[in-house]
């Protein structure tokens, strides 16, 4: 076992957390049912920060540069392994945005960061947004879209970041500094993670889950960029500098102030 690396978020020492198989928690989705994948044989070591609690692996840190992500993660089987990749998430998020921003929708610009084949941005555009684009930092050779956006969404993306601080800086860079929202979905660590270990369902290296965040640390990282953050349970997180008037129907003021 290699020496535990420094935390990718706060640079404090980490300790070995647990090892699991590359197919840990991975399932093949087959219509109305799903089937666990057999063991792969590749061992994945996870580490946890002794200061902030961030949970991560370094196994895939260089996979972006050597083609291994395309070979091992985002290959032809990925749509069957990430069962909501093929439109379920995109439709749900698009409907949420349309209903919440209804009156202002035609004046808003949306960026789906890490949006894969662009289903969400296509739907948002079809609903009448002023501009709706996809930018996938995991794809090779894609051009960065110009300008800033009112809504930058990162739906099931942050857990894939091998350099999470750089990705969060990129989200901020794309966001309109005056009235922008950063809409994130990623499962934050449960209170009993030390008991669950890698049996927690979100520790799924086969779909590229390499970075798993404690909720307080996610809030702290965005605070360093001047953003507040509101949470919906453990899975949805909305960062903003000042809550825009056009987003009043997205969350009530009471819910925005919940811990």
Residue 1 lies in a domain: no
Q: Say whether pLDDT at 140 is over 90.
A: no
pLDDT band for 15, please (50, 70, 90 cuts). Answer: very high
pLDDT at res. 255:
78
Residue 223 lies in a domain: yes
What percentage of the chain reaches a pLDDT higher than 90?
82
CATH code, domain carrying 18: 3.40.50.150
Residue 84 lies in a domain: yes
Residue 7 lies in a domain: no
Over the stretch 194-221, which tens digit does the pLDDT of each residue have?
999 999 999 999 999 999 999 999 999 9
Residue 5 lies in a domain: no
Q: Say whether pLDDT at 244 is over 90.
A: yes
Over the stretch 141-166, which tens digit does the pLDDT of each residue have?
889 999 999 999 999 999 999 999 99
| Domain that includes residue 101, residue range | 14-256
Q: Which residue shows structure tokens 């070995």?
A: 16
- Tally of domains within the chain: 1
Q: pTM (2 decimals)?
A: 0.95
């Amino acid at each position: 076992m290699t020496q535990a690396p420094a935390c990718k978020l706060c640079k404090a020492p980490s300790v070995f957390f647990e090892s699991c198989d590359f197919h840990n928690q991975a399932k093949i989705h087959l219509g109305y049912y799903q089937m666990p994948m057999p063991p792969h044989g590749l061992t994945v070591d996870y580490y946890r920060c002794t200061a902030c609690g961030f949970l991560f692996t370094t196994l895939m840190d260089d996979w972006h540069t050597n083609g291994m992500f395309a070979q091992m993660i985002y290959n032809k089987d990925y749509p069957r392994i990430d069962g909501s990749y093929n439109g379920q998430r995109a439709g749900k998020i698009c409907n949420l945005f349309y209903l919440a921003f209804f009156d202002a929708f035609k004046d808003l610009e949306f960026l789906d960061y890490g949006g894969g084949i662009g289903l969400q941005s296509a739907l948002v555009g079809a609903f009448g947004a002023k501009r709706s684009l996809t930018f996938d930092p995991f794809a090779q050779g894609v051009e960065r879209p110009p300008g800033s956006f009112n809504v930058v969404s990162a739906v099931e993306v942050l857990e894939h970041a091998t350099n999470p601080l750089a990705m969060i800086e990129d989200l901020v860079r794309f966001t309109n500094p005056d009235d922008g929202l950063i809409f994130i979905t990623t499962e934050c660590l449960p209170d009993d993670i030390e008991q669950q270990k890698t049996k927690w369902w979100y520790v799924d290296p086969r779909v590229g889950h390499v970075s798993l965040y404690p909720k307080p640390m996610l809030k702290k990282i965005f605070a360093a960029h001047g953003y507040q953050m509101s949470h919906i349970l453990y899975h949805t997180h909305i960062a903003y500098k000042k809550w825009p008037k056009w987003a009043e129907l997205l969350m009530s003021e009471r819910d925005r102030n919940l811990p």
